[in-house]
Structure 1
Amino acid sequence: MLSLLITSCVSSSKRLQQGEYDKAIVKAAKVLQKKPTKTNEVKTLKKAYNLANNKDLEAIKLLKLSGQPDIYEKVVIHYRRLINRQEVIERLSDEVLVRIGFVPVDYSQEFITSKNKAAKFFYAHAIKLLEEGDKQSARQAWDELAKVKNYFPVYQDVDDKMNEAYSKGVNHVIFMIANESRTVLPEDFEDELLKISLKNINKQWLNFDTYVDKNINYDYSIYLNIKHIEVSPERVKEIQYEESKEIEDGFEYVLDKNGNVKKDEDGNDIKVPRYSIITCYVTETRLNKRAIVSGSLDFYDERSGQLVKTMPIASEFVFDYRLAIANGNLDALKKKTRRLIKHEPIPFPTDLQLIFDTNENLKSKVKRIINSNRAILLN
C-alpha cells in the first residue's frame, strides 16, 4: 500500500527524468485534464511525447533496416504504442494541444501492413513446424497460430490449423486401477473410483481418460496399484463418568450474630440465593473401526514402456460412533453429553462398506498427486 502511494505521488517531471516517458505522459495528461493552464505540465507533456514517439519510430526504422522476416511482431508493438499514446493526447483540450504543437499522425496503414506481415510470417512458420511431426513443434506451431488469430480472428484456415496443432501436440493419459492386495474389493469400488473427475486438471496439452478409447494411442498411463487393504477389529469401549453443575435452589435468610434475621433499610428480611450441586451419572459407549487402503500411483511412459515415477498413496476411513445412557439429573449434563444420549444404537459397518468408504479420500489424493506431477506427463 505504501509503495503504491509513493508511486502515485511521483511527479510527471520525475518520470520524464527517469526515462519513463509514457508514465510521464499519463501523469501530465491527468493533471492537464483538470488544470489545462499548468505550464510545467505542458512542457513535460510535450517533451515526453516527442521523446517517446522518436524512440518508437527509431526502433521501427532499425527493425526494418535489419531485413529479417521475424521483425514485424515487434514493429506491431511499436505502432500500437504510437497509436495508444496519440489517443491519450487527443483527449485533451484544444488549448493544450495547441500549446504542445500536437499534429495527429495516421499510423493505421503502417499498423495494418505490419500486422499482415507478422501474421504471414507466423502462419508460414507454424505450417513448417507442423510438418516436423513432433509434439513440441506442434505446440510451438499452436502458439504461432494463436498470435495470427490475435492479429486477425479470421485468417485463412487458422482455426483448422490450430486444431491440427492441438491434435498433434496433446499428450493422452489413461488412468487405470490394479488390485494386487489379494483382498476382494467391494462391488462397484473400481467404478466409483473411476468416476474421479480428472477433466478439471486437464491442461492445454494434457488429456486424461478414465476409460480406454480404442481410437487413441496413449502417451502415458497412470496405474493406481492397490497393494494392501487392512480392516481393524470392531472395538467397543465403555467409560463411566459423572457430570455436576451448581444451580440456584431457593434462598436463605441472612442472620445476625444473635441468630436473628437481618433487615434492610426498608425493614424487609434480607435473603440470598441458595445453591446446590446436581449430578448425573453417564455410561458412554464408543464404537471404533477403521479401514486402510494403500499402494502406489505409478506413472508409465507408454511409448517406451518405462516406469517414470512412482508415488506412495494411502487412504483411511474411520467409523467412530458414540452414544450414552444417563442416570440422575439430566440438567447437570453438558451440551455434548446431551447430544450423546439422543444417539440410537447402530451396528458396525461391514468390512466391505468400510473399504468402500475410503473411496472419496483416495480420489482426492490421486488428483492431488497427478496434479503435482503434470510436468512429467508433458514430455
Structure 2
Amino acid sequence: MNTYLRYLPIFLAVILFSCKSGEKLFNKGRYGDAVEAFVKKLQRRPSDATSLQLLPQAYAAAMEFHEGRAKQAIASNNDLKWEAVRNEYNSMQRLYNVIRSSPAASVIVKPKDYSTALASALNNAAEARYERAVQLLEMGDKQSAREAYDEFTASLQLSANYKNAAQLRDQAYQMGLIHVVISEIAISSSYFQFTADQFRDAVVRQLEQRRINNFVKFYDERYVRNQKDFQPDQYLEMRFNDFVVGQTYVDRYQREVSKVISVPSNQKDSTGKVINVDITVKATLFITRKTLASSGFLDYRITDVTNNKLLRQDRLPGSYTWQNQFGTFRGDERALSNEDKRLIGGRDVPPPPPQDLFAELTRPIYDRLASDLQSFYSRY
C-alpha cells in the first residue's frame, strides 16, 4: 500500500501531462500528433472528457490538411507527384489504424480507410519511376544508364517486383559500368619483379574490397588479356622508376661520456657512519652505425581506351631507411647511461634482403596510390 501511495503522484502527473500534451498539440495545429495523443489517453481512460471532445475535431482538421495536400499534388505537373500523394495517403492511413486501435475512439470517430488509395498511389509512383528509367536507358550512354539504374531501384522500392524493373535495372547496371584494367607493373630490374607483382596484387585487392564506386570495376590485366569479348574502358598503367635499393653508408665515431657518482670514502663522521664523496667517472664509446637507404618513384597514368585521352597521371615517391648501431667502450662502465648500455649490447646484424627493402619503400607509395585512386573514382 505504501509503495502504491508513493508512486501515485507520478502516475497522476503522467495522465495530466498526456492530456495537456494532446491539447497543446491541437492548439499548435499539429492535428495528426494530437489525434495520437488523444487516442493513447482514451486507451487508458475511455471516458476522458477532453479527449472525447477534441479527438473528432483533431481528426477532421488532420484529414482536411492531408487531403488538401494530396489533391494539390495530383493537380501538379510533377513527374513524381504520386510519391507526394503516397506520403499524404500514408499519413491518413496511419490515423485510421491509430483510431481503430481504440474502441472508445472508434465510437466517436469513423476514420476513412485509405489502403486501396494508398496501393493505387504506390503503383502510380512506381510506374512514374519506371517510365523515367526506360527513357534514360534508351539514351544508350553510361551516365544515362547509371541514372536509369537509380530510377529502377526507386521503382522497386515503391512496388517490389514491379513489371520487369529488376531485369532492366541489371541491364542498366552493366551498361553504366566503367571497366578499369590495371596493368602489370613495368620495372627495370627483373630481380624485383616478384615484389612489384605483389604490390600490384595488393592494389587490385584493395580497390575491389573498398568498392569505391558502384559503377567502377577493376581487373588484373593478366586475367583479362585473353578474353576476346572483354572491352575495357580505362587502362591504369604503373611503372617503378629511379629506384635505389640498399645504398649503404657506414659511419664510425667515438663519444666521450662522464657521470658524477657518489662513492664511500675512507672517512667516517662522529657517529661512525662512512662518509660518501662525489667523483667523476669517464668512458669512451666507439660506435658503428650502418645505414641502408632505399628510395624510388611510382609513375602511374589512367587513359581512356576509346580515345587514348589521358585522364590522370602522377609520380609518387617512396623511401625506407634501415639502420643498425652497435659499439664498444673503454673506461669506467659506471659512466654509461642505460641507452649507452643498450648500444654496447648491440651487435652487427645483417641487413634485410633487397626484396624486403624494396617492399618497405613501396609501402608509402601504396598508401598514397590507394588514396589517389579512391579520390579519383569516388566522384567519377
TM-score by length of 1: 0.74
Picking from 170, 175, 189, the partner of 2:182 is 175
Distance 1:40 1:82 in 2: 23
Higher helix share: 2
Specify whether residues 307 and 19 from structure 1 end up closer, same or farther in structure 2 by C-alpha distance, changes over 3 A only: farther
Give the CA deviation at 1:293: 1.6
Among 148, 160, 163, which residue is 2:155 paired with?
Answer: 148
Relative distance call for 1:334 and 1:75 in structure 2 (3 A) is: farther
After TM superposition, give the deviation of residue 186 of structure 1 in Å: 1.0
Shift of 1:25: 4.7
Note if 1:318 corresponds to 2:327. Answer: no
The Cα offsets for residues 281-335 of structure 1, whole Å up to 9 and x where unpaired, read as 4333221122222143212111211112222211112212223334566566444
Letter in 2 for 1:347: P
- Give runs of aligned pairs for residues 1-379 of structure 1, distance below 5 A: 25=34, 51-66=61-76, 70-84=80-94, 97=105, 102-177=109-184, 179=186, 182=188, 186-195=192-201, 196=203, 197-202=206-211, 203-211=213-221, 212-213=223-224, 214=227, 215-231=229-245, 233-242=247-256, 249=263, 255=269, 261-262=270-271, 281-327=284-330, 333-349=336-352, 353-374=356-377, 378=380
Residue 368 of structure 1 and its aligned partner are, at CA, apart by: 0.9
Deviation at residue 277 of structure 1 after TM alignment: 5.8
Distance in 2, Cα, partners of 1:328 & 1:53: 98
Higher deviation after alignment, 185-194 or 152-161? 152-161
Q: 1:112 to 1:288 in 2, by over 3 A?
A: same
> Which 5+ residue runs of structure 2 have no aligned equivalent?
1-20
Q: Secondary structure at the match of 2:247?
A: coil
Residue 83 of structure 2 aligns to which amino acid in structure 1? E
What are the superposed Cα offsets for residues 200-229 of structure 1, whole Å, 9 maximum, x if unpaired?
Answer: 333211111232523431111222233322
Q: Is the 8 A contact 2:185 2:196 kept in 1?
A: no
Local SS of the residue matching 2:286: strand
On the 8 A contact 1:243/1:333 being kept in 2, the answer is yes
Q: CA deviation at 1:369?
A: 0.8
Once the two structures are superposed, residues 309-364 of structure 1 have per-residue CA deviations (whole angstroms, 9 ceiling, x without a partner) of 22221111221222333456656644444443443312344555533432333222
1:315 to 1:106, Cα distance in 2 relative to 1, 3 A: same
Q: Distance in 1 between matches of 2:31 and 2:251?
A: 77
Distance in 2, Cα, partners of 1:298 & 1:243: 54
The alignment's TM-score, normalised by the length of structure 2, stands at: 0.73
Change (3 A) 1:247 1:115: farther
Q: Measured at CA, do residues 30 and 111 of structure 1 come closer, stay the same or move farther in structure 2, by a change above 3 Å? A: closer
Q: 1:200 to 1:280 in 2, by over 3 A?
A: farther
Distance 1:46 1:337 in 2: 89
Query: Which has the higher mean CA deviation after the structures are superposed, 11-20 or 60-69?
Result: 11-20
Deviations 1:88-123 (CA, angstroms, capped at 9, x unpaired): 6777x777x489x65433222211111122222322
Amino acid of the structure 2 residue aligned with 1:123: Y
Note if contact 2:42-2:48 (Cα within 8 Å) is conserved in structure 1. no
Shift of 1:172: 0.9
Change in Cα spacing, 1:271 to 1:349, as seen in structure 2 (3 Å) is: closer
The 10-residue stretch of structure 1 (142-151 or 27-36) with the greater mean CA deviation from structure 2: 27-36
CA RMSD, 1 decimal: 4.2
Q: Distance in 2 between matches of 1:294 and 1:27?
A: 67
Structure 2 vs 1, CA of residues 185 and 31 (structure 1 numbering), >3 Å: closer, same or farther? farther
Look up the equivalent residue of 2:218 and give its one-letter code: F
Q: Per the alignment, in what secondary structure is the counterpart of residue 236 of structure 1?
A: strand
Q: Secondary structure at the match of 1:186?
A: helix
Higher relative contact order (CA 8 A, sep 6+): 1
User: Which amino acid is the alignment partner of residue 238 of structure 1?
Assistant: R
* Contact 1:293–1:314 (8 Å) recurs in 2: yes
Percent identity between matched residues is 20
| Alpha-carbon distance change, 32 to 290 in structure 1, aligned in 2, over 3 angstroms | farther
**Which amino acid in the other structure matches residue 224 of structure 1?**
M
Aligned counterparts of 2:150 and 2:179: Cα–Cα separation in 1: 19
User: Aligned pair in 2 of structure 1 residues 229, 57: CA closer, same or farther (>3 Å)?
Assistant: same
Amino acid at match of 1:201: R
In the alignment, the residues of structure 1 paired with residue 306 and residue 319 of structure 2 have an alpha-carbon distance, to the nearest angstrom, of 34
Aligned residues between the structures? 351
* Whole-Å separation in 2 of the counterparts to 1:254 and 1:274: 11
Cα distance change of structure 1 residues 135 and 278 upon mapping to structure 2, 3 Å threshold: same
CA distance in 1, matches of 2:261, 2:50: 81
Distance in 2 (alpha carbons) for counterparts of 1:68 and 1:74: 10
Over 3 Å counting, the alpha-carbon distance change for 1:46 and 1:250 in structure 2 is farther
* Cα distance in 1 between the residues matched to 2:37 and 2:277: 80
